[in-house]
């Protein structure tokens, strides 16, 4: 069962990364509403991933890397873990400011230039300048780690 949960976790985080990239392209194209939907989807999928990942760990399913160049793998893994932990508060701050901005704009994305909303959206934009690269790094390194463990991983019996 834990292996199935692991596969679903990987599926959700891949979709989350794709939704994140779509959201970035959509906002750069000026499509605020589609951007918001893509980012909510990315966030929701990332949340589902986290629940599945923690469930899998709770069930005792873990793999140990037994492949070549263990030092490089450990550098990748440690950077992934540290930035994954940092990404959660970054993403929450970005979402919080977007939500507060939307609320201050009366729920209408066409009103984000209202003085009450502008400060929140400026903070949102400032936070996502850090959040998006970290999130993408964590997603891509997570996919790489998954592939490496698929090839060179050994299941640890709990």
pLDDT in tens, 99-145: 999 999 999 999 999 999 999 999 999 999 999 999 999 999 999 99
Which tokens belong to 81? 């873990």
Q: Are 52 and 12 in contact (CB under 8 A)?
A: yes
**For residue 33, is pLDDT > 70?**
yes
Of the candidates 64, 45, 70, the residue with the CA atom closest to the CA atom of residue 139: 45
- pLDDT grade, residue 3 (50/70/90)? confident
Would you state the pLDDT for residue 158? 60
Q: What is the spatial distance between Cα 140 and Cα 149, in angstroms, rounded to a whole number? A: 14
Would you state the pLDDT for residue 70? 95
Would you state the pLDDT for residue 6? 87
Range 35-44 average pLDDT: 97
Instruction: State the pTM of this model.
Output: 0.88
In the chain, the domains with their CATH numbers are: 2-156 (1.20.120)
């Amino acid at each position: 069962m834990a292996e199935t949960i692991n596969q679903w976790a990987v599926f959700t985080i891949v979709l989350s990364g794709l939704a994140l990239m779509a959201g970035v392209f959509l906002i750069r194209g000026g499509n605020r509403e589609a951007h918001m939907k893509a980012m909510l989807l990315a966030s929701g999928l990332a949340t589902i991933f986290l629940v599945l990942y923690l469930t899998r760990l709770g069930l005792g399913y873990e793999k140990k890397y037994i492949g070549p160049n263990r030092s490089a793998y450990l550098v990748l893994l440690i950077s992934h873990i540290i930035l994954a932990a940092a990404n959660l508060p970054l993403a929450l701050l970005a979402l919080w400011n977007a939500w507060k901005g939307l609320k201050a704009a009366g729920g209408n994305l066409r009103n984000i230039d209202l003085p009450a909303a502008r400060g929140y959206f400026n903070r949102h934009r400032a936070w996502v300048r850090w959040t998006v690269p970290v999130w993408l790094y964590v997603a891509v390194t997570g996919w790489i780690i998954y592939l490496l463990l698929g090839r060179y991983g050994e299941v640890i019996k709990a």
